[in-house]
Amino acid sequence: MATDCEAWLNANPVEAEDLSDSFASGDEDNGRSAIANKNINNEVNGNWLSSSSNSIHEARLKAKAKRRLRKNSSRDSGRGDSLSDNGDVVRGTSAAPTSPKSKLLDRKSRLGKGRGLPKKGGAGGKGVWGRSGEVYEPEAVDEKDPNYDEAQENCVYETVVPPLDERDFEKTVTPIVQEYFEHGDTNEVAELLAELNLGPMRSEVPSLAVSLALEAKASHRELTSRLLADLCGPVLSRSDMENSFDKLLQELPDLVLDTPGAPQLVGQFIARAVSDQILSKGYIEGYKGRVDCEYTREALDRAAVLLKMNMGGLRIDNQWGTGGGQRPVIQLIKEMNLLLKEYILSGDSKEAERCLRDLEVPHFHHEFVYEAIVMVLESKGEKTFKMVMRLLKLLSVSSIITVDQMRRGYERVYMDIAEINIDVPRAYFILEQFVDKSLSMGIIDVKLRDLCPCRGRKRFVSEGDGGVVKVESY
């Protein structure tokens, strides 16, 4: 054994130097190392040993070297050299070192298997119900399940919407009708009403829409008549319409308090409903002989008169007119010209103000100002001049025609005065007088007055001026 240990120590002098402090270091001179090598078997740490104790010490050194090499080999995982059972040196493979700590955080397969795909085919993870595009088949009921209930096997689950009562009905349907007055889409109203469980309140929809339209504009009443015609059939039945108009006739004494002209307006709604085939032709005749309220009688008489006029050629579908935003521009211009001509003949400025407001085109009032000034330029007397000036002053004070619309109307006349002067030779002169008068009455400001164009003419002055051409205005 001592011979084997000595042979191994001679083959690995570096490792042998590292194993014990009793070995001489490599930094010593050759003479000292030779003495140490000669006496290594007989002296350890300055003490002389016998042969038996020397062998025991060599055995300990060999065991210590084995433990050191075994520990290094396990740490390096096959890297470097290892020692066999009989003490021979075995060259290991150069494998990459692995750390025990890194293995704990490694999510890859320990066996080196797999194709690098996500776990569970991408259906795993927090908050995931399955892989995308997966369709689940109906699950078979297990009759042996302790929670199995035979009564629930044929159950059908549906969403139940409770019916609306009178209070919730007004809060829900009123915003729908008011929003309809803005967009005018009857299909949207039908879809919203279909989602509600109206129940016994179904016949209240037409009466609520008509009562809201009585306090609105003429264009809103036209939209209400169209809405009733489109809802009859898909959402409401004809009996619902008849019950609703019956309720309107009964509530006329209360409606008159807020809308004095309610009887005539309700009569027009009834005539329009009969014309649109929402109500039967015998609806009005069914009230003959059993009407006690004067307001109800007035409404039915109004409806009967309109239906007779319809047979004579009057179109009831145009009785409410068309909203300003829906009218063509040519029609608006014609109505404004008719309004001005009627005002010149009658002199009723209040009626002209009401008619202009009923047109519902505040964005188009500059056309009214333009047509009024052109009418003054084309007139031949002072009457039209004074009446138009008075009307523009009234509309400016009441803010029906805004400052911006008034300015645009004057500027349009300034731009077209050259063409107007072809037909009206004195157009420049009349326009200057009209603008000065408008400034004095406070209809326009000084800046707009200064923009007024003036016609210049060329003339030769006297011979003393040397025949210089001068430009003057008149």
- Residue 72 pLDDT > 60: yes
Contact criterion met (CB below 8 Å) for 238 and 276:
no
Band of pLDDT at residue 85, cut at 50, 70 and 90? very low
Two tokens at 287? 């009230």
- Rounded to whole angstroms, the Cα distance separating 101 from 104 reads 6
Band of pLDDT at residue 410, cut at 50, 70 and 90? very high
Burial state string for 10-41 with b = 16 or more CB within 10 A and e = fewer than 16: eebeebbeebeeebeeeeeeeeeeeeeeeebe
What percent of the chain stands above pLDDT 90?
Answer: 24
- Residue 83 pLDDT > 60: no
- Residue 25 pLDDT > 50: no
- Residue 313 pLDDT > 70: no
Which of 70-79, 97-106, 332-341 has the weakest average pLDDT? 97-106
CB burial class (10 A; 0-12, 13-18, 19+) of residue 354? exposed
For the structural domain made of 164-308, what CATH number should be given?
1.25.40.180
CATH class entry, domain 327-449: mainly alpha
- Rounded to whole angstroms, the Cα distance separating 455 from 67 reads 121
Q: Where in the chain is the domain with CATH 1.25.40.180?
A: 164-308, 327-449
Contact criterion met (CB below 8 Å) for 258 and 252:
no
Identify the pLDDT of residue 368. Answer: 93
- Residue 166 pLDDT > 70: yes
Identify the pLDDT of residue 276. Answer: 86
Closest among 292, 290, 287, 289 to 303, alpha carbons compared: 287
CB burial class (10 A; 0-12, 13-18, 19+) of residue 184? middle
Query: Mean pLDDT, the chain, as a whole number?
Result: 77
Band of pLDDT at residue 258, cut at 50, 70 and 90? confident
Identify the pLDDT of residue 104. Answer: 56
Band of pLDDT at residue 435, cut at 50, 70 and 90? very high
Contact criterion met (CB below 8 Å) for 61 and 5:
yes
Count the helices and strands in the chain (H runs, E runs): 20, 6
- Residue 82 pLDDT > 60: no
